[in-house]
Every structure is written in C-alpha cells, then in structure tokens.
Amino acid sequence: MRRVFNSWLGFVPSPSLARSAGPAEPNSRLVSAWLRRARQGMGWRILRSLISAGFMGAILAGCLTLPNIDHATVALLMVAATGGLAMVWGWVEALAGAITGAVGLAYFFLPPAGLRIASPEHVVALAAFLLIAIAIGQLADHSKRLLAQRDKLLNLSPDPLCIRDLNGNFRSANDAIVNILGWSEQELCSRPFLEFVHPEDRAHTQAAYDEIARGRSAANVENRYRTKDGRWCWLNWTLAAPAAGESQISAAARDVTEEKLAREKLRDLAAQLMTAQEEERRRIARELHDDVTQRLANVGIELGLLKRTGSQPLAGESHDVIDGLQAQIFELSDDLRSLSHSLHPSVLEYADLPATLEMYCRKFTEQHGIPASFTTREVPDEIPRLIAVALFRIAQESLHNVAVHSGATAASVVLAGQDRTSLSLFIIDNGKGFDAGKSKASSGLGLLSIEERARNIGGSVIIDSTLEAGTRLTVKVPLGEA
C-alpha cells in the first residue's frame, strides 16, 4: 500500500538521494557519511529547508520571466507549492518555502520595486499569504502523516484488508493480502476481481456486492481466491458499504483455509470411523453367525441324533430332557441371530437391496404400527455392497426418525435407478414436517450421520420438508460403470 501511495505523490525515497550523492568524488565516502548522519538529525532538516527556499525562489523567478502575470496567480502558485513541500517533506520545509515566497513576493511586487513597505494593506496581505501558506502546509503535512499511519496500521494487520470500488474490484490491498495470495497489489488492482475468485463461488460473491449496491450496510461472503502459485485460499469477507458521498467499499477478510481443511479432515475421519465401525460390526456379526451359531447348531444336531439313534430306546424322561435342551438351543440361536442382525444387516450379503429394504419395511410396519410401503423403479441388478449397506443404514435411520419424531401415520420408501448411472432412495412420511433450513444445524446426529453415510459413497442428501406437509428425504448416489 505504501508504494502506491508514494508513487501517487511522486516522492522519491530518500535512500536513492543518498546513493546519488556523488560517489565519483575522492572524498565521497566522507560526504555520504555526513549525509547519512545529517539525514538522521537537524542537519538534514536544515538542508531540506534550504532546498525548499531555493525551490520557491526558483518558481518566483520563473514567474517573473513571464509577461503580464498578476500577483494573485503567483501567490496561488506559491500556496500550492507550499502544500506540496509539506506533503513530500514536512511542515518545517514548507515554512521555509513560504517565508522565501513571502519575502520574494514583497520584494518584487510592492510598488515601487524594492524592499519597501508601501501601505498597511500590503502588510496585511503579505501576512495573510504567509498564514495561509503555513496553514496549508500544516494540513498537508498532517494528512500525509495520517495516511502513512493508516497504511502502517493496515499493513500491520495479519488479516486481509482492502478498499474496493463499487463493483468489488480492488483499489488497494494491504500486505496481508499480498502475502496470503502472492499477487502484488498492482496485479490485484489491475484485473477484474472475479478473475481471482473460484468459478463456483463467483455467483454468490457477486450477489454479496449486489446487496451492498442495493443499500445494505454490510454483507458477508465466503469464497475461494486463487493464489499466484495456483492454490485456492478460503477467505471469509465482511464488506462495509461506502460512507455517504463515497464510492468505495471497505472489505476485511479472515483466511479460513486451515479451518476448512481441518473440517474437511474431520469429516473424512468421521467417514473413516463409520466405515471402520461398519466393518468391525460386520466382522463380529460374521463371527457370531459363522462360528457360534454353527457350533450351537451342531449341538442341536447331536441331540437330535441322540434322541433318534440311541442304541437303546430312551426313557421318556430323558427324551423330555433332550427336547428341553433343543428348545433352549433354538432360543439361543434366535437371540444370536437378532444380535448379529442388529450389528450388521447380513441379509444384504445374500439378498439384494430391494429385497432387504422390503423386508425391513414390513418389519417396521409391524414394530411401529406405521404402514411403510416399498416401491422400486428401474433398480439395477448389481448394486455395490458398500452402497447397498449405506443406503440400507440410511433407510433404517430415516425410518427411525419417522417413527420417533415425525408423528407420521404413513411412510413410504422408494428406490429408483436412473439410466444405470445413479440410484435414488426416497424416504417419505406424512408427518408434521419441519423447517429444513432451520433444523439442519440442530437436528443432532440423525441427519448428520445420514449425510455422512451419503457423502461416504459419493452421494448427496436433499431434504424437502415444510411444516405440516410431511418430509421427503432423497439420497442420490452415482453408480460407477460396472
């Protein structure tokens, strides 16, 4: 920011002055050492004041060579030059210039020529000139300091701060923006700002500026900016509308890239955790089913054989005992089965998703007394196991929500394929519905885990719900080419 400001003033930074101070002379080292010391103390100030006085004198002399120039014009020129000196160097130099100008004016313009004071009016006029010149010098000096201070503050901020025109294009940007994005301030200011914004974010970014243009006092927008080395940087902007009579928007941003990445990572972790959990449950369910249940079955078979093929006919009493044992084995098997089923829908390993969902809907109807119908349309024969498990779990969780929260008296599950490229699962109820926008944040784990499961298989969740109009939850999953 400082560079632009300085180039606007046409100010040549002082180090270059020092460097150009006659390096060819034999005692140049002495001179440059003196200059360096002088620049830090009063000496430099005095030198600059002398230069200012010479500058004013030169202007005055220049004016005098012109024919027919009136003294008001010369005075105005002097005032302007004083302001310029104040901006470039400071008020001391401006004062030196102003005094030179005043003395010169008095000398050349007071009739008759010569350093004589003709009348009180002239004294007043000269004094007024001096005062005005000094005041303007002071003002210019002050505003220069304010600007420098502002630049310093802006550049001190670790967060991007910038000034934009009403379309959103950069007018100036602080060091933080330059550091974060890698683009120079000039590059940022010379191109339409939307070129830096991610194509997917352009629409809502534009919308935020439109809001400001329509008279909103502030707007927030989150978007991605391309950095010079090709990365995308997430920035969360606060835009402040221009003050009355101004035509620039002040904008402050926060770099939220890390935050976004962390959240992304967290989501990935959650997904991994869910997959791991599903795998672990599957493993335990298998173990129960393949090992424990089989061994139990074997005991049943042996007992049956004992009853039938005992070398001696069994006494009635023993027969009853074996019957009782067999009954216990059946009970155990049943418990094991429901335990293993609750851990993992093993039916999915042998039956396809439509059949499993249909069974589940029937079971749901029995358990909750809410009739749940199941319909399919153009479902492909082969559904990848991961997708089948995820969709089944989503249906399970959604129907659970229907039973617990919706107050519905009917539900419907629809599984529909589209041209073998995607598969949609719909869970519909006639319950009291909810404000989908509002409850998303507060809906707790139910919806969240549905969304995570869908995301995990590359799918998306859409919830259509309004109060008193039921809910339709749609999960759409792309199917890879088999």
Partner 1 sequence: MRHRIILADDHEIILDGLRRILEPEFDIVGTCADGRALLTALESLKPEVAVVDISMPLLNGMDAFRSAKSTHPRTRFIFLTGSPDASLATQAFRLGAAGYVVKQSAAEELVAAIHEVLAGRVYIAPRIANEVLQNLMSQPADSSKDGSGLTSREREVLQLLAEGKIVKEISAILHVSPRTVEFHKNNIVAKTGLHTTAELARYAVRNGLVSN
Binding of partner 1 by 412 (CB under 8 A): yes
Region from 3-11, 92-100, 130-138, 283-291 binding partner 1, contact rule CB under 8 A: 283-291
Question: Is residue 414 involved in binding partner 1 (CB under 8 A)?
Answer: yes
Q: In whole angstroms, how close is the CB of 231 to partner 1 at the nearest point?
A: 38
Distance CA 188, CA 170 (A): 6
Cite the beta strand spans of 175-303 per DSSP E.
Answer: 218-226, 232-240, 248-255
Measured from the CB of residue 312, what is the shortest distance to partner 1 in angstroms? 17
Q: Which of 12, 17, 64, 305 binds partner 1 (CB under 8 A)?
A: 305
Q: How far apart are CA 11 and CA 108, in angstroms?
A: 31
**Considering the rule CB under 8 A, would residue 406 count as an interface residue with partner 1?**
no
- Is the distance from CB of 348 to CB of 388 less than 8 angstroms? yes
Q: Tell me the CB-side half-sphere exposure of residue 145, using CA atoms within 13 A.
A: 10
CB 314 within 8 A of CB 307: yes
- Contact mark string toward partner 1, 422..441, x via CB under 8 A: --x-x-xxxxx---------
Nearer to partner 1, 236 or 471 (CB): 471
Shortest CA distance to 195 belongs to which of 223, 172, 173, 160?
223
The answer to the question of residue 156 lying near partner 1 (CB under 8 A) is: no
Q: Does 282 bind partner 1 (CB under 8 A)?
A: no
Under rule CB under 8 A, residue 329 binds partner 1:
yes
Q: Residue 73's CB: how many other CB atoms inside 10 A?
A: 11
Which of 349, 384, 393, 436 touches partner 1 by CB under 8 A?
349
Q: Are 33 and 39 in contact (CB under 8 A)?
A: no
| Closest approach of partner 1 to the CB of residue 417, in Å | 10
How many Å apart are CA 14 and CA 39, to the nearest integer?
9
Q: What is the DSSP string of 22-74?
A: -TTSTTHHHHHHHHHHHHHSHHHHHHHHHHHHHHHHHHHHHHHHSTT--HHHH
Alpha-carbon distance values, 78 to 43, 53, 57, 107, 469 (Å)? 25, 11, 10, 15, 79
Which of 248, 326, 396, 443 is the binder for partner 1 (CB under 8 A)? 326
416 lines the binding site for partner 1 (CB under 8 A): yes
Q: Is 373 in the site for partner 1 (CB under 8 A)?
A: yes
Pick the stretch among 68-76, 154-162, 208-216, 461-469 that binds partner 1 (CB under 8 A): 461-469
Least Cβ distance, residue 461 to partner 1 (angstroms): 14
Residue 465: C-alpha distances to residues 260, 375, 441 (Å): 29, 21, 15
CA distances from 102 to 67, 71, 82, 116, 117 (A): 20, 11, 11, 13, 13
Q: Does residue 266 interact with partner 1 by CB under 8 A?
A: no
With contacts defined by CB under 8 A, how many residues of the chain interact with partner 1? 58
Indicate the residue type of 84: G
Nearer to partner 1, 63 or 347 (CB): 347
Sites of contact with partner 1 (CB under 8 A):
286, 289-290, 293-298, 300-305, 307-309, 326, 329-330, 333-334, 336-337, 340-341, 346-347, 349-351, 355-356, 359, 362, 373, 375-377, 410, 412, 414, 416, 418, 424, 426, 428-432, 464, 468-470, 472, 474
